[in-house]
């Protein structure tokens, strides 16, 4: 039986493979970053860049992870002195014990401690991975004042539940105490993530204190950033295989591919770890990188998640290994996505796209399609719909994008018909639209297009698009999805 992963037991780590550990003294560093949402992605990405930067240049950049609701991270990590293993599973396999997280709090149980930590002068930066739905935005980009969490926070500002509420309340306390503001760095797969968060926080603060709103507007930077690294969530086999490899019992390791990228707005000069020295790209065109990543990697991922699940596949590797699905996403990328946006000048978009599809073929990563399929109502708004809109404006084809979109429609319809759980913040809305169960394809398409928080009026009222969606959904319902090549041919007839 292995000893538990703890600071005291690090000397017992396996010697082969060589496993790296923190090169700075964990006891001596202070917390400088509060991260909201310390799930697998944060622990595999931003925490690792910060760890590497502290190995290189030191600095008080320890991280306090704040889970908004779940107690898992705190309860497991506290037993391990907040240490965990990063397993890089790629052509080469390697392990690194990450020490950057110093503390984990759970907001729903410790809201006072969270606000105190965020309001402390030592906290210079608040970073976030709260997923698309955590932004609580209405479809026009303003804060959704009818969102249940926002309603709660407006009524109880000192014990909030949303990230927006925590950021604003702690900034309010800093202002009252004369402490400089922290900066806020969003790391979600949301286009213009910093700007969107800024708008949400300013709208919220403006609801009860105009002076605070002005102070935040003047003093807090919300840089945009783009993040990328394929990070499947931890499964029991991850725990077993990592613990076996490192010779210590780690109950919450994380796995990811070797590729990792973080692109941050160059205009942001705020205090931060030495990230630029450890590979973080600072650029004037974060938007270009965001578009490239959301439209290529994430759109192809979501397409595979819905089409692949309908065809009975389980993982990204399995479905991409099917040559017809490989051809489908390659054609989708080359014919309808590349060319829909202006890529950053630093990026060769054709080879970027090719490399992404090769990343899906990593046999050492088991990335479940079911995981990517979560929260489709939020994801398609970033990954599929903007490209459809741009292609329509440019007079380009939307045939394959329409197929991708109806695969999501059908994924939802099948789940409703089979009584399967839909993991999506709009699951109840879907359950309350009887037409989604209809056998009449036109009714189904119109029912989806009428959901205002997802589809703009322009998309809803676009007759050629509606006809295309109907044609694609008919093809999907009449064909064997496994023969996606045959199905696609019918779309061009």
The residues binding ligand CS2 (CB under 6 A) are 189, 228-230, 297-298, 301, 371-372, 379
Radius of gyration of the chain (CA): 23
CB of 233 to ligand CS2, least distance (A): 9
CB nearer to ligand CS2: pick between 297 and 415:
297
Helix axes 399-418, 376-383, angle to 10 degrees: 180
CB of 45 to ligand CS2, least distance (A): 8
Q: Which two tokens stand for residue 166?
A: 């925590």
CB nearer to ligand CS2: pick between 3 and 370:
370
CB of 492 to ligand CS2, least distance (A): 28
Total length of the chain? 493
For every residue of 66-103, which 3-state class applies, written as one string?
A: EECCCCHHHHHHHHCCCCEEEEEECCCEEEEEECCEEE
Query: Which residues have CB under 8 Å from 107's CB, separation 6+?
Result: 36, 66, 67, 68, 69, 114, 160, 161, 166
Task: Confirm if 381 and 454 have CB atoms less than 8 A apart.
Answer: yes
CB of 193 to ligand CS2, least distance (A): 12
Report how far residue 491's alpha carbon sits from residue 178's, in angstroms, rounded to the nearest whole number.
63
Task: Name the closest residue to ligand CS2 (Cβ).
Answer: 301
CB of 374 to ligand CS2, least distance (A): 7
Return the bridge partners of 3, or none.
248
Cα 322 versus chain centre, distance: 26
CB of 178 to ligand CS2, least distance (A): 39
CB nearer to ligand CS2: pick between 160 and 308:
308
Look at residues 66, 59, 65, 55 and name the one whose alpha carbon lies nearest to residue 29: 59
Helix axes 385-394, 399-418, angle to 10 degrees: 150
CB nearer to ligand CS2: pick between 370 and 437:
370
CB nearer to ligand CS2: pick between 297 and 447:
297
CB of 230 to ligand CS2, least distance (A): 5
CA end-to-end span of the chain = 63
Neighbours of 195 (CB within 10 A): 17
CB nearer to ligand CS2: pick between 83 and 307:
307
CB nearer to ligand CS2: pick between 24 and 306:
306
């Amino acid at each position: 039986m292995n000893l538990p992963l703890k600071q005291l037991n690090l000397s017992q780590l396996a010697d082969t493979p060589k496993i790296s550990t923190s090169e700075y003294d964990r006891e001596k560093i202070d917390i400088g970053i509060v991260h909201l949402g310390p799930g697998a992605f944060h622990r595999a990405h931003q925490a690792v860049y910060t760890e590497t930067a502290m190995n290189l240049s030191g600095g008080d950049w320890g991280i306090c992870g704040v889970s908004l609701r779940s107690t898992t991270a705190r309860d497991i990590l506290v037993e391990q002195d907040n240490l965990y293993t990063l397993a890089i599973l790629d052509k080469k396999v390697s392990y690194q014990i990450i020490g950057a997280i110093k503390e984990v709090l759970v907001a729903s149980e410790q809201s006072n401690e969270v606000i105190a930590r965020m309001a402390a002068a030592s906290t210079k930066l608040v970073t976030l991975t709260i997923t698309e739905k955590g932004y609580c935005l209405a479809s026009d980009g303003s804060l959704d004042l009818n969102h249940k969490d926002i309603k709660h926070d407006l009524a109880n500002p000192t014990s909030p539940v949303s990230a927006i509420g925590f950021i604003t309340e702690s900034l309010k306390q800093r202002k009252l105490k004369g402490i400089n503001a922290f900066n806020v760095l969003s790391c979600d797969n949301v286009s213009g993530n910093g700007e969107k968060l800024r708008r949400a926080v300013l709208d919220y603060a403006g609801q009860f204190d105009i002076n605070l709103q002005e102070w935040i507007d003047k003093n807090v930077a919300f840089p945009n950033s783009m993040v990328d690294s394929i990070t499947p969530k931890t499964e029991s086999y991850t725990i077993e295989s990592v613990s076996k490899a490192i010779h210590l019992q780690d109950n919450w390791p994380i796995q990811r591919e070797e590729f990792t990228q973080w692109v941050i707005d160059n205009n942001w000069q705020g205090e931060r770890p030495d990230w630029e020295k450890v590979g973080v790209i600072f650029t004037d065109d974060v938007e270009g990188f965001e578009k490239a990543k959301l439209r290529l990697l994430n759109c192809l991922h979501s397409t595979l998640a819905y089409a692949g699940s309908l065809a009975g596949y389980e993982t990204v590797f399995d479905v991409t290994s099917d040559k017809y699905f490989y051809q489908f996403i390659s054609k989708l990328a080359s014919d309808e996505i590349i060319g829909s946006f202006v890529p950053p000048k630093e990026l060769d978009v054709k080879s970027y796209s090719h490399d992404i599809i090769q990343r899906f073929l990593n046999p050492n990563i088991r990335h479940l399609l079911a995981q990517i399929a979560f929260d489709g109502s939020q994801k398609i708004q970033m990954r599929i719909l903007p490209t459809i809109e741009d292609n329509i404006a440019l007079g380009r084809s939307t045939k394959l994008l329409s197929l991708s979109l109806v695969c999501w429609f059908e994924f939802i319809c099948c789940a409703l018909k089979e009584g399967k759980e839909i993991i999506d913040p709009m699951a109840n809305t879907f359950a309350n639209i009887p037409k989604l169960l209809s056998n009449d394809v036109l009714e189904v398409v119109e029912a989806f297009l009428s959901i205002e928080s997802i589809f703009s009026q322009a998309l809803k009222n676009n007759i050629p698009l509606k006809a295309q969606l109907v044609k694609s959904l008919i093809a999907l319902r009449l064909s064997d999805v496994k023969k996606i090549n045959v199905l696609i041919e019918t779309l061009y007839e």
